[in-house]
A and B are shown apart, each in its own frame.
Chain A
Amino acid sequence: MSHLLSRSLFGFSKSDLTMALGYSTFADFLDKTLLKDSALPAAPNTWVTAVPAQSQQDDGSAGRWYTEMTSWWYSRMVNEGLNMREKMVLFFHNHFANERSKVVYPQNMYVQNQLFRKYAFGNFKQLVKDVSKDPAMLIYLDGNNSRGAGPNENYARELMELFTMGIGNYTETDIKQSAKVLSGYQVSGLTATFVASRWYTEATVTVFGKTAKFDINTLIDHIFDQKATAQFICRKLYQEFVYYKPDEVFVTKMAEVFRANNFEMKPLLKFLFTSDEFYKTEIIGSKIKSPTELLVGSAKLLQVKTPDLNNFYELARTLQMQLFQPPNVAGWPGQREWISSTTYSYRGGFTDSLLTGKRYNGVAVTSKLDPIPFARTFTTSEKANEFVDEIVGLALRFPLSDTRRKFLLDTLLDGTIVANYNTFTANTDARVNKFLKALMRLPEYQLC
């Protein structure tokens, strides 16, 4: 269960785990909480319906709104409880990666973000159709103002290469022809309009050997009829939730399930989470946490209910995962690409800040851990050995070596002996803090 929670959620606390284990059947847990549908959350503010205007950039509103929307999304994640939806929203944001620097207006990006939420457990084919007409996407990949007579190939290429089929499954001619089909849209403010006179005028085009007067919907249907498509998205899900090097045999099984269920996400996720593949011992603890998993997961673990979201915002940028600003249209590649000499070091700076109340540069954070009440939420709080084991069991998926475990125990005891340790003696708050700091600075903590 800890493995499932650490992959399908951003992280979990002790009470999350207890609650998850309280369901009478595993199917109940999946249906009634992990994959449960719920209404869309209320908007971060009224600006989401403001018609985009240059003045919003000039006076700095757009930037402030982006920050506000980012905090709003972080709040959804921190308060996700045992529901996987926000993890899927981030998965889709990474899959259909659009950058705020080009989309410009947060209103457009907000609409797209809610679209991902709507389809988090929904129909992927329909999501591709909707996202192809989404104003933010039209702006980002130059579908906006692309005319049939001289179409812009940007969206057609990325639709096939990154969103549906993967490289090697189409030709340059398929791209050129599809670009004509995808033309004709114009974005004005918050809406995208199809203008028939800007569309292609040829009687037919030929894509993957089929000749027809394709429109945007029939083209995407045709793309989903290609075998590569289900395989491609299932491979990406596998890499995100199971292991970054895909097992093609299992990916093929996923693709069969996906096609049999008409590209619905929920049955596919259920299949994945009830498969033996997902729980193989060798993949447990093999995922390098994304910065979002590190930030949100650490707050969840330490039960910091209202973490300093400005700190999240700043650190996420430094750790190379600013929400709404993926590096390019391929999104964040993940796993080892998260880690360089720089980002590895900043990760330690972040987890320190939850305990010390100060960022690496000395700036105070608004919310930090209160160590003694936190320790006392554990029944083992007065027994040093058992306490270390319980926290390690909760925080680390990677098995800890005996020497590392001893190092953590020594850090907690900080000179005292097991028999004298309890949370009622002076300086235990500092001890617990030091212990958690050391725990979260272990390279093992970067794995989930």
Chain B
Amino acid sequence: MKKNVSRKQFLQQMALLSGGAAWGMGSISGKAYAQVPASMASMVAGAEQGKALVIIQLSGGNDGLNTVIPAEDDQYFVKRPDIGIKKDAALPLKNGMYLNPAMTGIKKLYDQGKVSVLQNIGYANPDRSHFRATDIWNTGSDAKTVWDEGWAGRYLSIKYPQYPMNLPKHPMAIQLGSVESLLFQSDLGRFGTVFEDPNLFYQLVNGSTADSDLPPATLAGEELGFLKQIATTSIQYSKVIQECAAKGKINLTYPSTNLARQLQIVSKLISGGIETPIFLTTIGGFDTHANQLTQHANLWKTISEAVAAFQSDLENMNLADSVSVVTFSEFGRRVNQNGTLGTDHGTAAPMFVIGKTVRGGLIGENPNLKILDANGDLKYNYDYRQVYSTIIRDHLGVDAVKTQQIFNQAFERLPIYQNSPDQLPEFTSLELVTSVPNPVIDFALIQYSVFEKMQIKLAVYDLQGQEIQQIYQGNREPGSYQITADLARISAGFYIISLSGPNGQRQSRRMIKQ
């Protein structure tokens, strides 16, 4: 996904950048856009206005099975005799799934239809290294591809095509913290403005200097160019952030946790009129290899309380329609507990999308604790980029073509938002494509695909589910197949052609016999 911006172009952009801002000792810039009316600045910023996404990153690998708990599944207690959470203690959702007892705030929002719980989110050939897995989630790549740009960085480069020639009036992305995430990085530069406190940030930047000299075209010159770019954006944005924070309202008391403080700043900035579309907040401590029960519950208590406060704050200010919260973690954890009352690195896990515009409810099948991969880890049902693609399209309002550009691939959306498409795509390890002709007189050509090696059965059933004629049964390697079936002997009427696998996978198509 490298954008081939040559070094020369980059330097030209740097020059423009420095020309537009007032660089120098002790000065705060903002001149470039200070005279531009807000409506024009909006035009510069792009068409989709007013929506904001707040990402909560759970660092360390969240144990999904103790977050959204299959507390009616005996396998869960077989594999977690000491750290399994019983259903009497947990908060019921539906379909035999329960929330961790510490998540009362999120449960309340769930009951109001404001939480979409997405089950078994992951990707193929999952990585179990914290660092590589975090990079995968941040860049939006598959396991085998290494990208050096964040998916949000690519989204922002579409939203702000002038960057870095021109800096929009408001920060393009805000991260509460100190070390900028890969999420906001791109080949064009860094989209994120990173700070912990709006006032302190303003105070510190006051006195930073940057000049308009072009850095020399050397390796060291590239590093200097990078430093200058950071200096310039800091100078540009510290003032608008401080102003929005000053204008923002404080409506309720947040819990006194670090995450709640981060979300409170986000809320304050949004209510103060900031136009930033993406915010990143972080909570760490999820790498629960040992004695995890209390620690894990406390982490979710923190998140649950912080999110509940944030949501009610936004609702009080009538801003809830434009803001959506999503959680992610680099991986879930092993199904089996380990010998130290914790869990080791695993794979698929649930994600939460929270807000007033979501459909709410539990999306996707429950985790299958019997059919695990070779490491004893969960298989994923939906790719994490399906979640991100849905958010980008249905919440941030980006069209299908641009969304596809971001991930270099189209992903089927999930029914997360009220305006998301209805159909829940099935977990496809097989697919029955067509049978032609339909209606059929004698011979039907049936096409189907198998995505993993398995034993399959293809047969014709009547509408009562009685098997009328078997067409094929046997092992199939992954691939697409076609078979011609002689259906001359069956009587006229309505039938179902069905392709099934060994674990209940099934796809069916209607067929009419003349």
Q: Considering the complex, which residues of chain B in the window 356-376 have a beta carbon less than 8 Å from any beta carbon of chain A?
A: 374-375
The number of chain A residues touching the other chain, given as a range, is: 35 or more
Q: Are A283 and B208 in contact, with the CB atoms below 8 A?
A: no
Q: Considering the complex, which residues of chain A in the window 406-448 have a beta carbon less than 8 Å from any beta carbon of chain B?
A: 407, 438, 441-444, 446-447
CB neighbours of A283 from chain B (8 A): 219-220
Residue of A nearest to B233 (CB): A341
CB neighbours of A320 from chain B (8 A): 178-179
B375 touches which one: A172, A281, A287 (CB < 8 A)?
A: A172
CB neighbours of A113 from chain B (8 A): none
A348 touches which one: B127, B194, B207, B340 (CB < 8 A)?
A: B207
A399 touches which one: B216, B234, B338 (CB < 8 A)?
A: B216
In the bound complex, CA of A348 to CA of B128 (Å): 39
A404 touches which one: B127, B213, B226, B289 (CB < 8 A)?
A: B213
Residue of A nearest to B234 (CB): A341
Q: Are A152 and B129 in contact, with the CB atoms below 8 A?
A: no
**A149 on interface, CB distance cutoff 8 Å:** yes
**A239 on interface, CB distance cutoff 8 Å:** no
Q: Are A142 and B204 in contact, with the CB atoms below 8 A?
A: no
In the bound complex, CA of A446 to CA of B132 (Å): 28
Q: Are B230 and A153 in contact, with the CB atoms below 8 A?
A: no
**A253 on interface, CB distance cutoff 8 Å:** no
Stretch binding the partner chain, chosen from B195-203, B271-279, B406-414, B450-458: B195-203
A447 touches which one: B193, B204, B220, B231 (CB < 8 A)?
A: B220
A142 touches which one: B127, B178, B180, B289 (CB < 8 A)?
A: B289
Q: Are B209 and A442 in contact, with the CB atoms below 8 A?
A: yes
Report if A441-B213 is in contact (Cβ < 8 Å); known contacts: A146-B340, A286-B219, A447-B220.
no
In the bound complex, CA of A284 to CA of B218 (Å): 10
Residue of B nearest to A336 (CB): B226
CB neighbours of B179 from chain A (8 A): 320, 327, 337, 340, 343
In the bound complex, CA of A149 to CA of B339 (Å): 8
A345 touches which one: B175, B208, B220 (CB < 8 A)?
A: B208
Q: How far is the CB of B40 from chain A (nearest CB, A)?
A: 25
Q: Are B223 and A330 in contact, with the CB atoms below 8 A?
A: no
Q: Are B193 and A398 in contact, with the CB atoms below 8 A?
A: no
**A360 on interface, CB distance cutoff 8 Å:** yes
**B496 on interface, CB distance cutoff 8 Å:** no
**A81 on interface, CB distance cutoff 8 Å:** no
User: Interface 1/0s, chain B 21-33, versus A by CB < 8 A?
Assistant: 0000100000000
CB neighbours of A341 from chain B (8 A): 192-195, 201, 205, 230, 233-234, 237-238
In the bound complex, CA of A153 to CA of B194 (Å): 34
In the bound complex, CA of A129 to CA of B219 (Å): 37
CB neighbours of A328 from chain B (8 A): 59-60, 130
Q: Are B205 and A152 in contact, with the CB atoms below 8 A?
A: no
CB neighbours of B338 from chain A (8 A): 150-153
In the bound complex, CA of A286 to CA of B220 (Å): 4
Residue of A nearest to B213 (CB): A401
Q: How far is the CB of B377 from chain A (nearest CB, A)?
A: 9
CB neighbours of B219 from chain A (8 A): 243, 282-283, 286
**A147 on interface, CB distance cutoff 8 Å:** yes
Q: Considering the complex, which residues of chain B in the window 152-184 have a beta carbon less than 8 Å from any beta carbon of chain A?
A: 175, 178-180
Residue of B nearest to A101 (CB): B285
A157 touches which one: B128, B192, B204 (CB < 8 A)?
A: B128
Q: Are B220 and A284 in contact, with the CB atoms below 8 A?
A: yes
CB neighbours of A318 from chain B (8 A): 178
Q: Are A349 and B130 in contact, with the CB atoms below 8 A?
A: no
Report if A342-B195 is in contact (Cβ < 8 Å); known contacts: A146-B340, A167-B132, A399-B216.
yes
In the bound complex, CA of A161 to CA of B130 (Å): 10
Report if A360-B193 is in contact (Cβ < 8 Å); known contacts: A172-B375, A344-B227.
no
CB neighbours of B180 from chain A (8 A): 337, 339-340
**B210 on interface, CB distance cutoff 8 Å:** yes
Q: How far is the CB of B229 from chain A (nearest CB, A)?
A: 10
**B342 on interface, CB distance cutoff 8 Å:** yes
**B73 on interface, CB distance cutoff 8 Å:** no
User: Interface 1/0s, chain A 140-168, versus B by CB < 8 A?
Assistant: 00100111011111100100010000010
**B462 on interface, CB distance cutoff 8 Å:** no
B201 touches which one: A151, A157, A345, A444 (CB < 8 A)?
A: A345
In the bound complex, CA of A331 to CA of B145 (Å): 24
In the bound complex, CA of A336 to CA of B194 (Å): 14
**B224 on interface, CB distance cutoff 8 Å:** yes
Given contacts A142-B289, A142-B340, 4 further A-B contacts (CB under 8 A): A153-B345, A285-B220, A352-B207, A447-B220
Chain A interfacial positions (CB closer than 8 Å to B): 142, 145-147, 149-154, 157, 161, 167, 172, 176, 243, 281-288, 318, 320, 327-330, 335-337, 339-346, 348-349, 352, 360, 397-399, 401, 403-404, 407, 438, 441-444, 446-447
A-B contact pairs, 11 of them (CB 8 A): A142-B289, A145-B340, A146-B340, A152-B289, A152-B290, A281-B218, A339-B226, A343-B178, A348-B204, A401-B213, A442-B209
Question: What 4 A-B pairs come out closest when comparing CB atoms?
Answer: A150-B339, A340-B194, A345-B204, A286-B220
